[in-house]
Structure 1
């Protein structure tokens, strides 16, 4: 879950066709995409029509709903919402709806850490032992930077069976950052600190515990007071439970009888209302994601957050440099995709993309931006297990085509002729 799981690689490297972020970071675009951007109204409308067609293809492939927002920094953004007819009885999907951000939370949590670094209250080179004595084995060798860029070697707590009932909505307990950390560190580390890269939600559980200890403030209050209120993000929050604050996208997974064969038996039964072969998982408490994945937001709010972050409004120049200092995500490709502090990047044909993705039951989200935050894009698909378990090639193909088109549209490039589905 949360864009990691079962291997040391991120989802988009494991699943070239299924991963939302893979499609945007590893897209191979035909030569036509390098043409001069169209600035005509007709060109914009044609791009919108193409994106809407591709979003509809994702729904036709089996996704309950899709939201797209693309801003190329030159005018009015393209905003699209498509949904399956059967899902309308639950909620009429709108672009402004709230949804669960999953691992995109990590970008926001990293920004909080860097704010405290700028204030002299933390240092990226601090060993985790300094702030959480005795809580992390070999904590003197693991720095805050390693926790943030996934080089700590800590086992990912989402792989522990004890968290599974919470992921599936069968256990309503509220996990604290300290409890999630303890779940992860009861397993042996994967490697010596700083020697490799492996996605670990446990590292962010540790970061959450550090933030709460240093500030004496809850993560909910830190997100509210340091990011949401200053940026006027009215629909962005770190939830205290499963409650939503505003109109929200409904998230679904297939019920056990309709679950794709590739989904493991232990993940085939989720809690929630059932109809049309699906389980409505919208009210599963995201607390099991904690600092690694619990934040709720909207497409518009995340656009404002990315713009503020990448333009330097939230952080001084020195901390922005640290945010963008990356390590290779694949040791076989040292010049390939990199992970910074809560954000990842790759140079694609249409432009260099920065961003993150996130997956929790019912919500698969990709958020993208350019280096300056002047161009942004978000894609939400309101079902996630198809990607987590590489279980539905039909949705994967359609989602790949959509993400390819979204990425090039964000950079003001023509939608590739090769972006098709079905």
Structure 2
């Protein structure tokens, strides 16, 4: 093994009941989600991926694709992954709870809580650490720090050793005058939490979050025993451009030297439930949640804003969601919550990739399905592929489009204007054999003649309809 490349940017489906019966999460939707997961696996050349979707009243869907280890064993929904910087959302939640308990103030200068370190201005506030406006140098960008970690992967570091080791270079800017993502800031926040509570971050996470919210497959990197199966991470270890199963590589130095910036281990099912709790207002007060969701503009990992330990994501149709991404040595994670329908999604991947865009695409697919109102009857198997006339027709603004499939097929249902321009993709994905009805609302379109087209690999049909306004 020539070198270790260290970076910190901290097909099976099932349904878990949540706020409703298991049957509420219908098999057609589950098949649709699995087909989209398979697309991500293929399009981004992933080794393995695990996903979960939580929809109130329907349940939690989980799905996987690809392999975990070099023995070609499949990724399973029970497997946990290192969540990297998703940890920052948990850190922010602890800090906000401490402020609610009058243990600290977001306006406190960090000099109140930690000693002076070189290149770490004492007048930086806790709030500036949380929203990355402190200007403090991101230690994981320092090649000297990376070399120190790689020189002994079994070494256990303390954060104090990192901060005093000459790895924190000159600040990017004066506190509060800009935005620059910094893992160092969250490592300092972890120190502050441990000093106030006189316990480890692990103990705080278990007491405040893991146990109260039944996150039973969520762990902490340091001083914890992981009993769940662990997905193997894949990294190009020798620089030949080929990913290697890196699960044998010790992570003690990597994990201990960045605690606070990372540290959470979990699976997608636990993370979608966490997202629904934190962003649903069950973990912190409404006042604290408003602070967490006050965003400054930022372009980072598929997000367009950063709040307190929270990234902002833009979906199609102008909708906005919240969450966080994370990467650490062959693991990538994205968690996103849609506040309109209280839908949570999580993707965990066993190679390094900027997962934000994947998460946004997956959430768009979920929202496309939930807002499209496809209903399916699979008890009757039609004899031929058929696209029926919409009804009512003419219509304003809602109509139904019925079509028949003789086999399980990946289909596309789209609408075109009279110029032949595609104006909306109503549905793309796998549907089972049966009779399907799509409820379409054209409230955002002008009146006129439109065409709707149904196509699959083997068939295609098109019909005309009239929107009257």
TM-score above 0.5, yes or no: yes
Conserved? CA contact 1:91–1:249, under 8 Å: no
Which of 229, 242, 251 is residue 233 of structure 2 equivalent to?
251
Match of 1:44? 29
Q: What's the C-alpha RMSD, in Å, of the aligned pairs?
A: 3.2
Match of 1:296? 265
Match of 2:222? 240
Match of 2:326? 358
- Per-residue CA distance 1:141-167 (angstroms, 9 max, x = gap): 210000000000000010223432576
Match of 2:92? 110
SS in 2 for 1:377: strand
- Give the TM-score normalised by structure 1: 0.74
Which of 200, 204, 208 is residue 222 of structure 1 equivalent to?
204
CA shift in 2, pair 1:106/1:277, >3 Å = closer
Tell me by how many angstroms 1:187 deviates.
Answer: 1.0
CA shift in 2, pair 1:370/1:277, >3 Å = closer
Distance of 2:148 and 2:135 partners within structure 1? 24
Conserved? CA contact 1:343–1:356, under 8 Å: yes
Distance of 1:309 and 1:167 partners within structure 2? 33
The 5-angstrom pairing of residues 14-413 of structure 1 reads: 41=26, 43-58=28-43, 62-84=45-67, 87=69, 89=71, 91-135=73-117, 137=119, 139-165=121-147, 170-183=152-165, 186-240=168-222, 244-256=226-238, 258-259=240-241, 277-280=244-247, 283-285=250-252, 286-330=255-299, 337-350=304-317, 351-371=319-339, 374-384=342-352, 387=353, 403-410=360-367, 412-413=370-371
Tell me by how many angstroms 1:317 deviates.
Answer: 1.4
Tell me by how many angstroms 1:307 deviates.
Answer: 1.3
Conserved? CA contact 1:137–1:185, under 8 Å: no
SS in 2 for 1:355: strand
Conserved? CA contact 2:218–2:264, under 8 Å: yes
CA shift in 2, pair 1:357/1:191, >3 Å = same
Conserved? CA contact 1:146–1:193, under 8 Å: yes
Higher helix share: 1
- Give the TM-score normalised by structure 2: 0.67
Conserved? CA contact 1:252–1:383, under 8 Å: yes
CA shift in 2, pair 1:417/1:89, >3 Å = farther
Distance of 2:57 and 2:151 partners within structure 1? 42
Conserved? CA contact 2:138–2:181, under 8 Å: yes
Conserved? CA contact 2:159–2:258, under 8 Å: no
SS in 2 for 1:338: strand
Distance of 2:138 and 2:340 partners within structure 1? 32
Q: Aligned residues, how many?
A: 353
SS in 2 for 1:68: strand
- Please tell me whether residue 3 in structure 1 is matched to residue 5 in structure 2: no
Conserved? CA contact 2:9–2:85, under 8 Å: yes
CA shift in 2, pair 1:232/1:283, >3 Å = farther
- Per-residue CA distance 1:293-324 (angstroms, 9 max, x = gap): 11111112112211111121111111111111
Distance of 1:164 and 1:172 partners within structure 2? 14
CA shift in 2, pair 1:228/1:372, >3 Å = farther
**Greater shift after overlay, 410-419 or 132-141?**
410-419
Give 5+ residue unaligned stretches, structure 2: 1-6, 11-23, 373-411, 413-424, 430-469
Distance of 1:146 and 1:134 partners within structure 2? 17
Distance of 2:34 and 2:220 partners within structure 1? 35
CA shift in 2, pair 1:401/1:162, >3 Å = closer
SS in 2 for 1:378: strand
Distance of 1:208 and 1:373 partners within structure 2? 33
Distance of 2:202 and 2:177 partners within structure 1? 33
Give 5+ residue unaligned stretches, structure 1: 5-38, 261-275, 389-395
Tell me by how many angstroms 1:196 deviates.
Answer: 0.3
Distance of 2:70 and 2:208 partners within structure 1? 36
Conserved? CA contact 2:269–2:346, under 8 Å: no
SS in 2 for 1:125: coil
SS in 2 for 1:108: helix
Distance of 1:160 and 1:236 partners within structure 2? 30
